[in-house]
Structure 1
Amino acid sequence: MGSSNPFEDPIFGLTATIGAYAAALFLHRKVRWLHPLLVAPLIIYVLLLAGRIDYKDYKVGGDIVTFFLGPATVALAVPLYKHALRLRSVLPSLLMGAFVGSAAGLAVNALCMALLGGSELLMKSALPKSVTASVAVDLSNWLGGSPELTAALTVLTGLFGSMAGPALLRACGVHERLAASVAIGAASHGIGSARLLAESEENGGVSGFSMAACCVFTPMLLLPVHWFWL
C-alpha cells in the first residue's frame, strides 16, 4: 500500500522546487535585485513552514533536482570546448589565476575565522567553502569539519558571488573579461559560473574551467593543513 502522506511522493518535492524557481524568476523580472537563487529557497522555506511539512518528505523529491547538479556542472565544459582554440594561448594565465584564487580563498577564509574567534570545527568547515559543493563537503569531512555546515557556507558563498561578484570586481578595477571570469569561478564555483554563462558563453566556460582547476589546487594546498591538524 502507498503512503497516506502525499508529501512523501517525490512529485511533491520536484514540483515545489521547480515551481519555486519559476516564481523566483518571475519576481526577478519585476524586481531586478531579487536574485532567484535567493528567493527560491525562501519560497520553499515558507511553504514547508506554513504547511507544517517535514523537510525529509520534501527532500525525497528535492533530491531528484540535486541529482542533476553533477551533469549540469559537467555541462559547463561545453562552452569551454567551443572556445578552446582561442583560450589555449592564455592557458598558463588561466591556471595561474585559478591557483592564486584557490590560495587567496583559503587564506581569507582562515583569516576571517581567526579574527572572528571561530572554533576549530568552524575553521575546518569554512576553509574549503570556495570550491564546488561536492568537493567542499568531501574536503570538510577529510579535515574533520562539519559537512552540513560546509554545504550551507558553500551555497551562501556561491550566491553572494553570483549576486555581487561582477559589480565588486568592477569596483576593484578588474574590467578584463577573462580575469573576472577566472575570479568568479575560483570564488563562486558553479552558481557564479552559471550567472556568467547566461551573459556570455565564453565567460561562463572560462569560469567553469577556473572552478574545475580550483578543485585540483585546493586539496593540494590543504594537504599541509590536514597534516597539521591530524
Structure 2
Amino acid sequence: MLLDQPLLWLVVTLLAYQLGCWLRDRTGAHPLAQPVLVAIVVVGTLVVLLDVDYASYADDTALITFALGPATVALAVPLHRQLDRLRGFVLPLLVAVVAGAVVSVASAVLLVRLAGGDELLARSMAPKSTTTPVAIAVADTLGGLPPLTAAVTITAGILGAVAGPGVLSLLRVHDHRARGLAIGAASHGIGTGRAIVDHPVEGAFSGLSMGLTALVTSVVAPVLVALLL
C-alpha cells in the first residue's frame, strides 16, 4: 500500500516545503506565502484526511528532525560574515535579548492568568518565544505540557514570520540589526528563515538572537514563573 512505503512522508514534507518556496517566489515574498506555513497546511491536511498515525509520520520524517540540529548550528555562518556589524552593538544587543526574554515569559504568564487560564496553561505558554526544542525542555522543567508548548511555539514562529517584518516597518524600525534581533527573539527559527530571505544582515542577527533568547529564557523562565505563580 502506498501509505505504508518507507520515507513517503519525508518526500511529501519536502515537496510541500518546496511548494511554499515556489509560492513565496511567485508572489513576491507575500507575508502569507511562508514555506513553513504552506508545508504545515498541506501536510497537516493530508495527515488528517488520510487518517495517518502521527507516530508513523514522525518515523518517516526523523531525518528532518535530526537535521534541525546541524541546521541551527549553521546559522552561525551568516553571522560570521556580518561580524563587523557587531562593533558597538554588543551591549544594546545583550540588553535587548534579556529584556525581550523577560517580557515574553512574564507577559505570557500574566495574560493567561488575566484571561482566566489555569496554572498549567501558564506554565506551558511561558517559553513560547524560544526555539521549539528548548521550549519543550523548559516547559517540562516548569511542569507544563510539552506538546501544547510545541504547538504554541510553532504558532508564535509562524505569526512572527508572517506579521513581524510588517509590524517593524509600521513602527519605523529600519536598522537591519534591530529588525533581526526582534524577529529572532519573538519567532525563533521560523522567523529567522524569513529574515534570511529578506536581508542577510537581518538573517544573521535573527539567528544570533534566537540562540541567545533560548539561553536566557532557560535561565529566567523558572525564576519568573516561580515569582508570578
Q: Is the 8 A contact 1:128 1:136 kept in 2?
A: yes
- Paired residue total: 226
Structure 2: any 5+ residue segments left out of the alignment?
none
Map 1:150-229 onto structure 2 (within 5 A).
150-225=149-224, 227=226
The aligned amino acid for 1:209 is: L
- Percent identity (aligned): 38
Q: 1:24 corresponds to which residue? A: 20
Change (3 A) 1:228 1:111: closer
Q: 1:21 to 1:95 in 2, by over 3 A?
A: same
Question: Offset of 1:8 from its aligned partner?
Answer: 4.3
1:36-55 matches, within 5 Å, as 36-55=35-54
Give TM-score scaled by structure 2 length: 0.90
The offset of 1:210, in angstroms, is 1.0
What is the match of residue 67 of structure 1? 66
For structure 1, the residue ranges without an aligned partner over 5 or more in a row are: none
* CA–CA distance in structure 1, aligned partners of residues 5 and 118 of structure 2: 40
Once the two structures are superposed, what CA deviation does each residue of 1:142-165 show, in whole Å capped at 9, x if it has no partner?
Answer: 000000000001100010001100
Confirm or deny: 8 A CA contact 1:95 1:210 kept in the other structure. no
Would the aligned equivalents of 1:9 and 1:61 in 2 still touch at CA under 8 Å? no
The alpha carbon displacement at 1:35 in A equals 2.7
Distance 1:229 1:144, change over 3 A: farther
> Alignment RMSD, CA only?
2.0
- Distance in 2, matches of 1:117 and 1:144, equals 19
Instruction: Name the TM-score, length of structure 1 as normaliser.
Output: 0.90
Residue 12 in structure 1 maps to residue 8 in structure 2:
yes
After TM superposition, which residue ranges in structure 1, 4 or more long, deviate above 6 angstroms? none
- Residue identity opposite 1:156 in structure 2: T
Q: Is the 8 A contact 1:9 1:60 kept in 2?
A: no
1:204 and 1:24 map into 2 onto residues whose CA distance is 19
Q: Aligned partners of 1:127 and 1:227: how far apart in 2?
A: 11
AA paired with 1:115?
L
Aligned to 1:103: 102
